Amino acid sequence: MSRARPTYEPRSIQCRNCGAGVELKDERTRLRVCEHCHAALELSGTEQRVLGMGRPSTVPYRIEIGARLAISGAEYEVIARVCYIEDADPSDQTHEYYLYNPRRRPLWLSDYDGDVSMTSRTRMLPDVSPFSNAAVRTYDGRSWRRVETGVYEVFHVDGALPYVLSVGDRIRYAELVAADDPSEIYEAQETENEIEYGRGRAVSEEQLGRWLGRPLAVRRTVGPAEPNTTLNFIACGVPAGCAVLLYFASTVMPPGGQLVLSEQVSMAELDAEHLSAPFVVPHDDCVVQVRLSADRLMNAWMYARMALVEADGDTVIHVADAEFGLYSGSDYEGRWTEGSSKADLLVRVDDAGTYRLLLNGVSGIGEDPSTRAIHPLTASVRTDAINSYPMRVAAFLLFGVACFAGFLVMATGGLRTSSVGIGVMVLAVVATFAVASVGIYGTSTGWGTPELEHPDGISIRRSSVSGATAPLFFAVYYSPRAHLGGGVHSGK
C-alpha cells in the first residue's frame, strides 16, 4: 500500500544579519550566503551564526544560482558556486557549481578556462596517494594518469553548501584522467580534516548548453582583478594619516609639567654670567625643560649658553647652548617670517634637589658678528616636562611606512583582494599601530631626553681659577671666541 510522496518544500529562514527571508533548498545546508546582505551564515539545526560578511560577486561565473540543468533525465538546480584561485592569482580562476536534486546525489560542475567537467563523490579508493608521483590504480582495476596537482584557495562562495567553506580556505587537489580514456576523470581533494575522491567526465560546451537548455555564455577572460580602493587607501592612508597626526600633535603639544622658574635676564647680565634664583626638581629622573626666549628678537640672532648648577652655586652638572634667530621681510610673494625667538633645551636630571641656571649669551642684528648681548632674555624652567621627540621620530618612521606602501601600490598597479594585497594592508596597519604606540609611550616616559653631561659635576670655582676673570665659567668651559652671528640665515 503506497503512500503519496511528501511534498518537497524548501524551508525558509530569516537571515540573522539583515532579517531578509532566505530559502534553504537542501536540508543538509550548513553554509548559506544571504543574497541580500551577503552575510555568510553557518547553520546548525535551528541555530544560525554569522561567519562573516561577503561582497557582491565580481566573479564572471557563466551559470547563475537557481539555473536548472536536465542531466540524464533528472533535473538539478545550481544552489552554490565557488570560485577557487591558485598561487594568489585572482586571474587564475576555477568555477565550481553545486548541483542539487533532493532525490539524487549531488554533482559538481567545474569550469576552468572553458574546460568543463562533471563529477560526483566516489568511494572507489586509489592504491597509492594520488598526490604522489607513483602510477595510480583504483581498486576496480582502472589506471589513471596524473594531470595536475596544486592547492586551491577559496576566492568567492555564494549560495548554499552542505559544509562550511570560507574565503581563504585552502584545498589540496589532484586531477587524474583514465589511461585508456582521457575524458574520464578521477580526482582527490584534501583539506585539513579529510580527503574525498570524485569521479566523472569531461563535458563539452555544447553538452552543457543542452543541459541548461540554452547556449552557454562565452567565458569572459578573467583579467587581473580590479585594484581594491579600500585596500589601497588603508595600506597607504593609515600610516600617512597617523604620521601627520603624530607630527602635528608633537608640535602643538603643551610643554606640560610645572613652571618652577621664570626670570628676566638683562643684556648686562648676559654679557657676564647670570646665576638664576634657585628652583626645585621634585624627584629623581625628572625631565626638565629650559626655555630661553628673547621676545625682542627681530631680524636678529642670539647665541645663549646654559649651565645647570647645583644649589650650592658651585657645581655645574650640565652644559648646553642654543642658537636661534627670527627674521622677517617681504618679497614678491608677500610677507615672510622665518626662525624663532626662543629655544627649548631638555635634560633628564638624575637626582631630586635644588638647582640654579647659569646663563650667558651674545646677540646681534642681521648676520653681523657680535661679542655682547643686545637683547634681554627670559629663562623659564619646567619640571616633568613632556619630550615630544619620540612622537616626531615615530611620525617620520610612519611616513617611511606610508612611502613603502605607496611604492608597493605603484609597483603592483594597485593592491587587489588577494592574500598578497590583504597581507600588505595588514602589515601596514600593524606597523602603524606598533610605531605609533612606541612613539606615544616614549613621549609619555621621556625617551630620548639628553642625559646630564657632567653628572659628577664641575666646580665653577675650580674652572674659574684658570679663567681670566672670575667667576666666568663659560669663558673657561668654551674656547674664548666671538660669535660670528647669523644662526639662521635670513632670506628665503
Partner 1 sequence: MAANRPELQCPSCGAPLPIRSPASLQAVCAYCHAVVYWNEQGIQDAGRKSHLIEGFTRLYRGATGTLRMERLEVLGRIRYGYGGGFWDEWYVTIGHGRTAWITEDDHELAVQSPYEGDVSAALGLSPGGRFVLDDTSFEVGEVGEAECVGVEGEVPKYVTTGERYRYLDASSLDGRLSLGIELDADPPSAFLGAWLVHADVQLDDDEASW
> Site residues (CB under 8 A) for partner 1?
1-9, 11, 26-28, 30, 70, 73-75, 101-106, 121-125, 138-140, 162-163, 194
Minimum separation from the CB atom of position 102 to partner 1 (A): 5
Q: How far is the CB of 98 from partner 1 (least distance, A)?
A: 12
CA 467 to CA 428: how far, in whole Å?
58
- Across 223-236, b (16+ Cβ under 10 Å) vs e yields eebeebeebbebbb
Q: How far is the CB of 54 from partner 1 (least distance, A)?
A: 22
Q: In whole angstroms, what is the distance from residue 227 CA to residue 414 CA?
A: 5
**Gap between the Cα atoms of 282 and 259, Å rounded:** 12
Please, which residue, 4 or 252, has the CB nearer to partner 1?
Answer: 4
At closest approach, how far in Å is the CB of 432 from partner 1?
41
Q: Give the nearer residue to partner 1 in terms of CB position, either 139 or 407.
A: 139
Between 137 and 342, name the residue whose CB sits nearer to partner 1: 137
- Residue 430 beta carbon to partner 1: minimum distance, rounded to whole angstroms: 35
Q: Which is nearer to partner 1, 12 or 469 (CB)?
A: 12
How would you class 373 by CB atoms within 10 Å of its CB: exposed for 0-12, middle for 13-18, buried for 19 or more? buried
Query: Among residues 141 and 223, whose Cβ is nearest to partner 1?
Result: 141
Q: Which helix (H) or strand (E) holds 207?
A: helix 205-212
Pairing of strands 115-122, 195-203: antiparallel
Report yes or no: 119 and 127 within 8 Å, Cβ to Cβ.
no
Q: Whole-number minimum distance, CB 50 to partner 1, in Å?
A: 20
Rounded to a whole number of angstroms, the minimum distance from the CB of residue 71 to partner 1 is 10
d(CA 89, CA 249): 42
> Which residues sit opposite 370 in a β-bridge?
483
Q: For residue 197, give the nearest of 253, 244, 242, 131 by alpha carbon.
A: 131
Distance CA 133, CA 128 (A): 9
Amino acid type, 283:
H
Question: Whole-number minimum distance, CB 18 to partner 1, in Å?
Answer: 25
CA 261 to CA 292: how far, in whole Å?
A: 12
Residues 119, 187 contacting (CB under 8 angstroms)? yes
Nearest distance in Å: CB 434, partner 1: 39
CA 387 to each of CA 102, 246, 260, 285, 323: distance values in angstroms, whole numbers, following the listed order: 71, 13, 17, 13, 19
Residue number, 82 or 286, with CB nearest to partner 1? 82
- Rank residues 47 and 331 by Cβ distance to partner 1 and give the closer one: 47
Mention every residue, 6+ apart, whose C-beta is less than 8 A from residue 409: 232, 235, 236, 415
Rounded CA separation 198/120 (Å)? 5
Q: Which is nearer to partner 1, 68 or 296 (CB)?
A: 68
Q: What is the grid cell recorded at 225?
A: 582583478
If the CB atoms of residues 27 and 181 are measured against partner 1, the closer one turns out to be 27
> From the CB of 148, what's the least distance to partner 1, in Å?
23
Which residue lies nearer to partner 1 by CB, 3 or 481?
3
**In this structure, what C-alpha cell is assigned to residue 254?**
603643551
